[in-house]
Structure 1
Amino acid sequence: MKAGLVELLELYEYKVDDLVAGTEPKGGMAGLTRLRQTLIQSNLPGPLAKKFRDIDARFKAHRPGYKTAVDEGSAPDLGTILVEEDSPAASPEREALEKLAEAVYWSRLERDLLRTAKSFNHGKRDELRMTYAILQNLEAYSKSPQFAQDYNLSRFVLAHPIPSVSDPRVHLEDPVVAKNMLMELFREAFALSGKLKLPPEETVPYIRRFARRVLESEGSLRTSIRGPSLETLRRALEEAHRQNLSIGEIRALEERLQAAAAEERRMSLVMEDDRGRFSAAIERLTTLLTRYLPSPRGEASWPHIPPKILGSQSPEYGLQAVPHDARALNLRLMPQRFYFWNHEIGISQAGKLFGLSVDGQERMIEEGAAFSLTLPDAELHVIRYQDYLHLRIEPREAATLSNLLAEGRVMAFLMWPENHFAYLRLLRALSARFKGEVNYALFSPESAGKYGEAPIDNLQDFARKGLEVVKGRIERNSSWTAYLAEVARALELESYAQVLRLELSEWLGFSPPSRDTLGENVDSTTVGDSPSTVKAGSAVLSLRYQDDAVYVSSTGLVPRKLLDLMIWMVPEGGLVLAREGVRVAHSLVIIQPQNRPVS
């Protein structure tokens, strides 16, 4: 049996379980779809194929439905919004929820694109210069009569060249200007299907074609050759020979001709290099569009906001009280006070003006407002649409990285191969014990052979999902330490269980730093075009940022793609790498050997 198929199938089952439970699978629907395609193409043997069909039937039955939630006359067309059920009659609450979801998307995108703009805003700023040229030429060409029918851009004529890096009209060095340009590119992407009657899924391919037509058009790259052209100098030399000018004058013209020819060759090489760089920039931009545009234009999911509204009089949409664990909340604007994620929030009104206060901070809530307030342990995002408000609590970047590092510390133990992956076997046996009696033969040393054979990223995904499942069961059962001791005795792994109990307890009780720090023994780096180096015990890793992704590599090993969390095993233990945008934090987890020898 092909190594790793069992684990991939279990991972698929975990993700489908999340979908059935109404929560978005880790990695999003795009990741779930890719995993499903991998399994479909893997030629599964009989028993696994039957299990896959059973799981896949549940997936098909619970795939989220999408519905266009913006009226045809509105602009831009914002694609598809996930809704619970189709409602035949429009209502103010339904419209408010749709508009708030739309605003949440743009608000999140703006924050993400600001980070992206900062990463693009160095060196020759190829991505930003290309974005400017795309926007300028798209605006110019859209005014021509042939634009609406010219899908393959055969009649496109360049209107604006790619600006130079120091063009005073563009101000590329300003990250806010850069962010606004990227935002405008996304808004144009949303509007394209309406302007061209283009299928939404063709949006990114069209923009790629358009960008390449801009780049390949004559005059797109400005040259800075000064003085007479090569052809002018050739004609001057021919004329000098006809007029029998002196040898000195002819020689001077020949030298100028040779210098001009050398300069033309140099500029040709420069332009070839520029075209290569801008071609790569186009691919990075299309990757960015694919990542952040919601399906079907790209791979992102549309924001899912709570279906209820605090203060609504509608039986369908009314919410009576704020759930204690809510991280997102919709409410009607009216004077009130309530607790939201352990923070007391006050809404005040003076005439037609509303204000919000939290933790000693006060802000006016104007129509169409979208702003964020920094709290000691999180960020509060506020969005208003007419008489409705959407609040969302999200961890700050440092808190996000700290939480990932804390989770990664436990995963480093789970992926540690000592004694046939003792920690991972313990965790899986503990997970089974929560459900009842355990057949411990399923967690014997022989059962761990598949872990060592599985690709490291598959093993990490498997361990992470198992840890997530156990966390949920621990939170619902206070006897977990007794269960862990029980399975440890049965598997004769008592010393490992003591370590695992301590690590799980610290992780479950972890609180991120109250300030923008990552804690002790943690380093961080900002990745860019140039590789970054991270030392992990006796190993040295290279971090490379490419196409909005971070790749981690070491000499002689295949690079691995860092999404949000990665464990890189080293002789001393595991290096935990956590990523938020272009910032990567890392911490070395040193794992001490236990009594049992490594087998």
Structure 2
Amino acid sequence: MDFWLELVELYEYKVQDLTEGRVPRGGRRGLAVLRDELLGAPLEPPLLRRLMETDRQYRLHQGNPVQHTRPRPGHGGQSTWTAPPTADSEESRAWEELQLLQWHQRAAAQARDLTLRWQREPEFGHLRVLYTVIENAERLSRPGTQPLAVPPAHDALMDLHDPEVTGRLAQALSALLLTEDGRTRVRAALSAVHAEPFPRHPDEDVLAARIAAAEREHVSHEAREALVRALRAEFPLPRDPRERPAIRAAARHVAQLLDPILDALPKPSLNGAPQGSILLAQHAGSAMRVPDDGAERLTVFLRGGSGARWRGLNIEWQPIGPNWQLQVGSQLTLLRPGLPPHERSQTLKLPDQQFRAFVSGAYMTLVVESHTALELGRRASTARAAALLLNPAQDFAFLRLARAAAQVMRGGPLQLEKLTPDSARKYLDATPDVLLSFARKGVETLVARLTRVGADDAAQAFRRAAQALGLHRVVADRLHAALHIALHDPETMPEGVPVTQVDLAPGGHFTSVVLSDEPLTLHVEGRGVTIRWDYKGELVVMMPGLAPMVLHDLLVARLPGGNLLLVRHGSWLGAALAPDVPVPTLEAAELSTDDIRMN
């Protein structure tokens, strides 16, 4: 960073010399070389603003003022009619690619949501199928490679409990879905996994022949058995055929969930961009007269002007070499059309809304991302982590583990005398609102500490704390994963629906509702939960056998065997039924990880 700062300051001095009539040190050629280097540099936004202001002075001095929006030609005089763009035109290709990039961004978010949901399964069945499909789809691009068998549950080399690992799986899947060849290979790999989860090893016949030869050797029985064991050790053990039905069922379910994602793929258009769809377009048929402030997206031909106003914000852009500098309100970013397609989007966060910009050549699409959905997703992830801490199993083991992990990450000694099972009695006596407030504060404290610690160091801290408390490491992994998601990868909430009756499924995923003046009834495992506005304008949750509870932004209501999670932002409410997870102790350490069952 200091290197680029010095170069920007040097550029400022040289431009100042030039504008004041002096020959810049190093000559004009040296100034031009320095300018080209800086315009392609990965500068931070504050430094980029300084460069742009200085470069503006340079271009004004060179007689090349900033380009303004060009006026549209009138109808008088010579005809300005141009032929409509064909499917092979630059505009049509850019329009189709921008639609594909937007679909890919939605597909990537849906893939991430699926992996987060599947990570809560006891045997990671869907994740193991997905891992195998991705690996085999990539192997299909390399002829001659052998397909991978579906790995066993809780394979130590896979770390499917780690949210970073599942995040990379979602990214790999979305990258494959971006191309037609990748989508074809994903479908082929998924069909192959369903047909045969455990492909036959190519050297099975060789192994059988070697074993038969070893059994004919004239040696002692013990030596013959040792030789056979040595031969078998070179090959993977055969898998239990009883696993096949469950894996095939998971493969069918993965295919069913991927089908709607693939069906939403944009279809190619014979006529190019729709009429009136592109601001400052070259062709009159696709040109938009003025930006629509009520629309959720805006597509612009960047070479057609230098600025526009949309949704109350000033939007300005200018070319910087092969790239485009974009400013939306107070936020500045650099769009790079030369990057791979899945990297050609940028997020711009403003105080009251958020945009995502996609670029294809000289065309850009700005999409409004719902601030409500983002905030609700953060609260949903916080609620899910707080629900873990409220699990009373093993004397509130998760809550005690959270306190122990905080001590470890602070670098101080573990005060085990304050973390004994007897210390948890006060939690049983606390009222639900006090206990929730304590759990939520614990989540926020740990999330703040995770921002200052690497993921691997944090995982080790949680495992060390769990060992000191006599808990199995899967408990530590579960709590660390929930906090990691709350910090780095909050849940994506589905679009809210205006209804008054909702049946909550026990799977743990959220349902979104747009609240109205009418009461909302949630059907939760045979009981009705009513949510309504009271005379004071507060949102009240009423459950049989419990006192009314006020829902501000987040509420975790204890139920037999689980928790009802409620999150709210304005009139948008999210609800989920999260079951409790088992809390194994170190007494289970002698068991293999395959035997640990987690919901």
Normalized against structure 2, the TM-score is what?
0.41
Normalized against structure 1, the TM-score is what?
0.41
